[in-house]
Chains A and B, each alone.
Chain A
Amino acid sequence: MAAVSPSAAIPPKRPGRIARIFKEPNAIWMREMRQSARLGRTPWILFALSLTISLLMCSIGGIAATDNASPASLGGALFQTFFSIGLFVVMIIGPTAAANSIASEREGRTWEAVLLTGLSPKDIARGKFVAAYTSIAMHIVVLAPVGALPFLFGGVTPVEVVVAFAFLFIFAALAVAFGLAVSSLMSSLRGAIVVTLILAICIGPLLYALFGFGTSFAIHKLWSDVPEGFPVWLPLAYTRAPFGLEYVLLLIAVPLLLILVPAWFLYEVTVANLTGETDDRSTGLKRWFFACTPLLALACALPGAVALTEDERVKWSVMGETTFAAYVGFCALLFAFDPAGPSRRVLVHWRRMNAGVLRRFFGPGLPKTASLVVLMGFLGLLGIAAIDLVALYLQPAASPTASSSWTYLSPYSPTRSDRLAQIFVFGAYCAPYFVFTIGLVAYFRSRGHSPWIARLIAGAILFLAGAAPWVVAAIGGVVTSSHDDTWLVVAAPSPFFAYAMVGRYDHPGTSDDTPIVQAGLACAIMWGLIGLVFLVLAGRKCARAVREQNALFASTEAALRAEDDVRAAAAVAPLSETAGAT
């Protein structure tokens, strides 16, 4: 073995980053490709898939042709059908193919061997991603000839078809990244596949309905050349929409944001899951959170700031804040994985690389993470409200808006100050309640519960806080046969009460003097204070855990040092005796 020792060889000059991609392809990718090449069933699956979709397209084309449709509309229908099917294929097959990869290593007990080769979690994640992506890309390529069928009829341009294929590849990448993230979390192959499939089947159609059908109506309003009700509208919009600010915003900036933010998130989740528990699993995800949260806050604030009417501005603002609150709430639960403090390994790593304050802040440590999430979330929620408030305040006074607001039967038309108050009170409830959410999660995590247990307990409490007040209010209203809003106040502790507060401004003084807004604000302050208390308690618990750990290390180190001293003395003694003898 000594003859072949790699250390004995003269290391060759290392090629550049780009050259390395071709000269030293990812080892995991190469191995997975070799394995896939020996899988006999792959060609048959591809053949069956292309045959089925070809027949389906021909059937649909045949049915549509009998309806005296023009060739152009037939081509458009085939285009929509093919790419809708293509989307579902990548949304189902992509995650499943990826789910197979990491979980199978863990189940097959090959994982530790790979980990000990020195390949970094990032290398492994990239290798796995490229391998799974190659597989799903092969499916898309096999389907490409079928996708060219609309050309025979017209109705779509070649550029639109090419752009549609490009988006299919991008969605496939997202689908694979999603499958990998789930797979990296699971140790059982079957579990990974089942969970991924269930999530893909649930989320896929939802996204298709929301960003496909749903958005096509709004886009058609903006650009009438883009057909209404056609789910695959995005590739068409690129060629049919006039170039301008909206074009850049809606067809370049927003799609980029919607693709890059989840892609980066899924990548960081995968890497964190592949990283050892005592290594730094936090920095990547915290960087993602730090970079993306302001962008998302801005994206959530923009519709409310640019909507045409005051009424729409309030609606979009509330919707934006709701979306952002859901996002930061998810992040609060996500970051429950963080340990009380950085491990010894991480501390030594920091010390060696002279890590600065910022790098350490983004490293592992529950109190630091909770502070970051609270700060970003709180500021984000207030920021959205502030942007929308300022935009609404600065908007020139237009003709009174029609009352199509939260209470449709109300004859009252809210004034501008009502609209401002609506945006303000919603943000004023959401922000403190978010502090409570992150405080709750951090507290349970700091008590030594595992991340999933902490999430489960916090989730259950949040569910109770959200639902129970409404149940009590409903029962109270029914028992007392109350027809006013008196019992509604009981629901004030629920975060959904913020909507009731907003609605209050649509019909003030119509029924009674129940202090809905005051009660809501009081509860918001209460939640905020409780959240702060939880955060302080979590910080103390983490500090105590770290102190205990430090004391344990210190005592062990002292014992080891004492032993070393004894050994050193024993080693030196014979030398001095020898010296004395000579």
Chain B
Amino acid sequence: MTEDAPLSQPPSSQGPTSWLDQTSAPAIRVRHLWHRFGKLDVLRDVTFEVGHGEIFGFIGPNGAGKTTTIRIMATLLEPLSGRVEVDGFDVSVDPEAVRKIIGYMPDHAGVYERVTVREYLEFFADAYKVAPDANYSVVDAVMELTDLTKLEAKLVATMSKGMKQRLQLARTLLHDPKVLVLDEPASDLDPRARIEIRDLLVELRSMGKTIFLSSHILTELADVCTSVAILERGRLVVAGPISDIARRLEEAAAQRQAQQPSPQVQVPREQPQQQLQGTLPAAGMQTAILPPQQQPQQNVTTEMPAAGYRQTEIEPAPQTISVPRRRLKVRAFGQLPAVQSALTGVPNVYAVSQITNGLFLVTYVGDDQTIAAIVSSLVAAQIAVAGVEPERSELERIFLEVTKGEVQ
């Protein structure tokens, strides 16, 4: 590169990259990020932002480019082009500044085995050059926060994987970073350890930290994340708050279907699973939603050999546009006919099936209001409801809808 080459601005600034950044810089801003390994483009024009105080989930299949993005964010890799800013600092030109404000926990990172928990944290406190006078208090505070105080004299080698992960998290907190970048923090952990890590993340968020985490465990992300980004084959498929993405997807699907005349087609029998999963119809595929006046009034019962349970199609309530169907698990004290009867006429409810005794699967279209209507109808019909739960979490549904399962 010639030394007069145009550079990433700010020209020779020591801080955030523009007045805009100083006033409204998001915690992380990734803009038109490209990266290449050899001849393979592993990241292609990835752009997203993470607001302050968010827990941001970064999702994607293996090989999608998540870890590359994270490594660029953590200043360990310089991008081919594009810009990544953490709290307004460009990771390419201000790596030292970025390292001071991020805490990075790599995927499957190791720990020093032949030291105690306290020694381990003291080493990193020294390495981070945390003020010596405050050194012990910082280590103590971090141990307390991560619930490691009781284990301070324990050798790291003798700790469980979950505890080691917790120790790693403690290590990332020593220099009081604004942003935590965690690559698969809950991988290989047992359920208890996962829950503990998740609770810790929520607590950290409440302390004002921005948390950027990648994970394959969608249900966990759904519980804690305020926003997500989904990456596939190096491209960003979608990013934003989960509820917004869900709404946008539904609107997009609705628009697509509204633009096409809804043909009177029956759903092919060989694709029932696809429909039931609530996936967005692939390009060219049409969902069969019968207009209310043309739908049969009587219930249609179909046998689902794969699932092994009975499903009853019921008359849907009138609606103007058709959107993907969702399924809701309802635990209720009643028999299938009574439940069918209670839900007949409820707007946007399409089918009811019984999984086991007292557990029903209700196919519907809509949002939480529809779920509330379903519960209300059941209660009104003197059927006690013990619980309702979406068959898939919102995040899982979004992920399946927007990704194609491609890898690079």
Does A484 sit at the interface, judged by CB under 8 A? no
Contacts of A5 in B (CB 8 A): 176
* In the complex, chain A residues whose CB is within 8 Å of the CB of B3: 342, 347, 350, 360
Report, as a range, how many residues of chain B touch the other chain: 35 or more
Does residue B233 face the partner (Cβ distance < 8 Å to A)?
Answer: no
Interface 9-mer from A311-319, A463-471, A501-509, A560-568: A560-568
Contacts of A564 in B (CB 8 A): 18, 20
Which chain B positions have C-beta within 8 A of A546? 1-2, 5
B108 to chain A, nearest CB (A): 6
Residue B404, interface by CB 8 Å: no
Q: Is B99 an interface residue (CB 8 A)?
A: yes
Provide the residues of chain B in CB contact with A117, threshold 8 Å: 99, 124, 127-128, 175
Residues of B within 8 A of A12 (CB): 131-133
B106 at the interface (CB under 8 A from A): yes
Q: Which residues of B contact A39 (CB under 8 A)?
A: 114
B6-20 CB mask vs A (1 if < 8 Å, else 0) is: 111101101000111
**Residue B31 interfacial (CB < 8 Å):** yes
Do A560 and B83 have beta carbons less than 8 Å apart?
A: yes
Cα A11 to Cα B112 with chains together (Å) = 29
B residues less than 8 Å from A34 (CB atoms): 114-115, 119
In the assembled complex, the Cα of A550 lies from the Cα of B3 at a distance in Å of 10
| A145 interface hit (Cβ, 8 Å) | no
Using known A-B contacts A276-B76, A341-B1, A345-B95, determine if residue A110 contacts B81 with beta carbons closer than 8 Å.
no
B residues 120-134 near A (Cβ < 8 Å) are: 123-124, 126-134
Contact A118 B6, CB 8 Å, known A4-B141, A31-B115, A278-B78: no
Q: Given known contacts A342-B3, A347-B7, is B131 in contact with A110 (CB within 8 Å)?
A: no
Judge whether B9 and A9 touch: CB under 8 Å: no
> Which residues of A have CB within 8 Å of B81?
552-553, 555-556
- Say yes or no for B310: interface residue by CB 8 A criterion: no
Count of chain A to chain B residue pairs whose CB atoms are closer than 8 Å in the complex: 176
- Tell me, yes or no, whether B111 is within 8 Å of chain A by CB: yes
**For the complex, is A579 an interface residue (Cβ under 8 Å from B)?**
no
Instruction: Please report the C-alpha to C-alpha distance between residue A2 and residue B137 in the assembled complex, in whole angstroms.
Output: 12
Whether the Cβ atoms of A30 and B123 lie closer than 8 Å is: yes
Q: Are A6 and B7 in contact (CB under 8 A)?
A: no
Residues of B within 8 A of A9 (CB): 131, 133-134
The DSSP consensus for interface residues of chain A is: helix
Which residue of chain B is the closest to A353 with respect to CB atoms? Answer: B12
Closest beta carbon of chain A to B41's beta carbon, Å: 13
CB-based contact B82/A27 at 8 Å: no
Closest to A31 in B: B123
For the complex, give the distance between the alpha carbons of A27 and B121 in Å: 11
Q: Which of B198-218 contact A (CB under 8 A)?
A: 207-208
At the interface, yes or no: B258 with Cβ under 8 Å from chain A? no
Residue B304 interfacial (CB < 8 Å): no
A6 to B138, CA, bound (A): 8
A555 vs B80: C-alpha distance in the bound complex, in angstroms?
Answer: 12
B112 touching A110, Cβ below 8 Å: yes
Q: Mark B52-76, 1 if CB is under 8 A from A, else 0.
A: 0000000000000000000000111
What chain A residues lie within 8 Å of B106 (beta carbons)?
A: 109, 112-113
Q: In the docked arrangement, what's the CA distance between A555 and B128, Å?
A: 37
Known A-B contacts A341-B2, A342-B1; the reply to A553 vs B100 at CB < 8 A is no
Q: Tell me, in angstroms, the Cα distance from A31 to B76 when the chains sit together.
A: 23
Check if A209 is an interface residue, CB within 8 A of chain B: no
Interface residue? A407 (CB, 8 A): no
Is B96 located at the chain interface by the 8 A CB criterion? yes
* Complex Cα spacing A349 to B176, Å: 26
| The one of A2, A112, A568 that contacts B207, using a Cβ cutoff of 8 Å | A2
Q: Mark B74-111, 1 if CB is under 8 A from A, else 0.
A: 11101011110000000011011001101010101111
Do A27 and B7 form a contact, CB below 8 Å, given A4-B176, A556-B32? no
Q: Which chain B residues in 221-253 approach chain A with CB under 8 Å?
A: none
Closest to A123 in B: B127
Interface string of A27-49 (1 = CB under 8 A from B): 11011001100110000000000
Q: Which of A6, A113, A115, A549 contacts B176 (CB 8 A)?
A: A6
Q: Please, which residue of chain B has its CB at the minimum distance from the CB of A364?
A: B1
Q: CB-nearest residue of chain B relative to A352?
A: B12
Which B-chain residue is minimally distant from A341 (CB atoms)?
Answer: B1
20 extra interchain contacts, Cβ-Cβ under 8 A, other than A2-B208, A110-B111, A278-B78?
A4-B138, A9-B134, A24-B126, A38-B115, A109-B108, A110-B112, A113-B106, A118-B96, A344-B7, A345-B93, A546-B2, A546-B5, A550-B2, A552-B81, A553-B7, A554-B6, A555-B81, A557-B8, A559-B32, A568-B19
State the A residues within 8 Å of B (CB).
1-7, 9, 11-12, 24, 27-28, 30-31, 34-35, 38-39, 108-110, 112-119, 276-278, 340-345, 347-352, 360, 543, 546-547, 549-550, 552-557, 559-561, 563-564, 567-568, 571
A-B contact pairs, 17 of them (CB 8 A): A2-B207, A4-B142, A6-B134, A35-B114, A113-B106, A116-B102, A345-B92, A345-B93, A347-B5, A352-B12, A352-B14, A360-B3, A549-B1, A560-B31, A564-B18, A568-B20, A571-B24
